């Protein structure tokens, strides 16, 4: 054992001994955090100047936060921590659709009929028309009629309605109720990949560590059905160049779909010309599922 660790261990023990608030879980979490931070200092051995620069970085991050923008959430996303927290909280049976991070762009969506167009902005004229359909199911394949699918996506330039004056509020969003066979469907345009905000501390860190800010093209889903865990997830489009390096580390293999190009219209899907078709089923986990039952 080195002199450094002999010094550090009693110090850590002393700090931990002072953590004795009324909430045992809070004590547990703070103790684990402090333990890992001391281990970080022992390993990285920051100079005092580096430590102060780190604190200044966090101060600046906090100062950037507003009601509309949370730079800490961005840091959490781009360091894989949001996904790590998601992973430890959403274990389930084989066949379940994995969850994935919500991201910052959810807002209340207009209720729409099955089959509705959710695109009414200028993107409708220039982007790839796309029909998206699938079923909401239990993990054993039982359909879940009446399940609610809350959907939101960026347009073909990578912008959400909340970021873009050319889109009306609610554009590229929809709240759908699955039919008696658990089916949902809607018509839209193909979304584009887009960068996370780069004008803050998060962007500065990405540049400093040699990473790009791009997220691969995706659709966001939040699916609910009585008796089942709500599922918040993404569906990613196969072939996107950023699938292997998502700035938010949200990609999971089971969430990648393969859009099929159709060179003619479709009566079934009420598409009057060439389009793409996405077929994606969502499998929910019963509320009473436990690891012990599996």
**Neighbouring C-alpha atoms within 13 Å toward the C-beta of 245:** 9
Residues 170-199, interacting with Fe ion (CB under 5 A): none
Which of 103, 213 has the CB closer to Fe ion? 103
Which of 76, 135 has the CB closer to Fe ion? 76
Shortest spacing between CB 60 and Fe ion, in angstroms = 25
Question: Are residues 233 and 254 in contact, defined by beta-carbon separation less than 8 angstroms?
Answer: no
Q: How much is the CA Rg of the chain, to the nearest whole Å? A: 23
Query: Tokens standing for 193?
Result: 């990949």
Which of 12, 196 has the CB closer to Fe ion? 196
Of the candidate spans 60-68, 102-110, 235-243, 275-283, the one that interacts with Fe ion by CB under 5 A turns out to be 102-110
216 belongs to the binding site for Fe ion (CB under 5 A): no
Of the candidate spans 52-60, 74-82, 97-105, 168-176, the one that interacts with Fe ion by CB under 5 A turns out to be 97-105
CA distance 142 to 231: 16
259 belongs to the binding site for Fe ion (CB under 5 A): no
Residues 236-255, interacting with Fe ion (CB under 5 A): none
Binders of Fe ion: how many residues, by CB under 5 A? 1
Residues 21-40, interacting with Fe ion (CB under 5 A): none
CA distance 242 to 264: 29
Shortest spacing between CB 189 and Fe ion, in angstroms = 15
Helix (H, G, I), strand (E, B) or coil at 149: strand
Shortest spacing between CB 144 and Fe ion, in angstroms = 25
**Neighbouring C-alpha atoms within 13 Å toward the C-beta of 1:** 7
Of the candidate spans 38-46, 101-109, 126-134, 251-259, the one that interacts with Fe ion by CB under 5 A turns out to be 101-109
Question: Are residues 71 and 61 in contact, defined by beta-carbon separation less than 8 angstroms?
Answer: yes
Which of 151, 225 has the CB closer to Fe ion? 151
Residues 119-138, interacting with Fe ion (CB under 5 A): none
Of the candidate spans 68-76, 79-87, 103-111, 133-141, the one that interacts with Fe ion by CB under 5 A turns out to be 103-111
Shortest spacing between CB 194 and Fe ion, in angstroms = 7
String of DSSP letters for 223-244: EE-TTB--EEEEEEETT-TTGG
- What burial letters (b/e) apply to 122-146, b meaning 16+ CB within 10 Å? ebbeebbbbbbbbbbbbbeeebbee
Helix (H, G, I), strand (E, B) or coil at 284: strand
- Residue whose token pair is 């009324």: 22
103 belongs to the binding site for Fe ion (CB under 5 A): yes
Which of 103, 259 has the CB closer to Fe ion? 103
**Residues near Fe ion, by CB under 5 A:** 103
């Amino acid at each position: 054992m080195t002199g450094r660790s002999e010094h550090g261990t009693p110090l850590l023990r002393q700090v931990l001994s002072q953590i004795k608030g009324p909430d045992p879980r809070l004590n547990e979490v703070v103790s684990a955090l402090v333990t890992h931070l001391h281990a970080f200092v022992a390993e990285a051995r920051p100079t005092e100047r580096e430590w102060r620069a780190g604190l200044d970085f966090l101060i600046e991050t906090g100062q950037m936060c507003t009601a509309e923008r949370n730079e800490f959430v961005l840091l959490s996303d781009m360091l894989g921590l949001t996904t790590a927290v998601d992973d430890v909280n959403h274990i389930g049976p084989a066949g379940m659709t994995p969850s994935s991070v919500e991201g910052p762009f959810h807002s209340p969506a207009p209720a729409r009929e099955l089959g509705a167009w959710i695109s009414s902005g200028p993107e409708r004229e220039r982007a790839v028309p796309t029909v998206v359909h699938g079923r909401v199911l239990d993990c054993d394949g039982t359909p879940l009629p009446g399940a609610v699918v809350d959907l939101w996506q960026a347009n073909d330039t990578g912008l959400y309605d909340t970021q873009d004056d050319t889109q009306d509020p609610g554009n590229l969003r929809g709240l759908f109720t699955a039919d008696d066979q658990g089916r949902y469907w809607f018509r839209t345009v193909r979304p584009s990949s887009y960068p996370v905000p780069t004008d803050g501390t998060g962007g500065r860190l990405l540049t400093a560590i040699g990473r790009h800010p791009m997220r691969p093209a995706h659709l966001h889903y939040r699916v609910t059905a009585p008796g089942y865990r709500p599922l918040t997830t993404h569906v990613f489009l196969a072939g996107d160049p950023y699938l292997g390096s998502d700035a938010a580390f949200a990609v999971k293999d089971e969430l990648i779909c393969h859009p099929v190009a159709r060179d003619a219209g479709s009566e079934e899907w009420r598409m009057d010309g060439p389009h793409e078709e996405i077929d994606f089923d969502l499998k929910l986990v019963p509320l009473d599922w436990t690891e012990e039952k599996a």
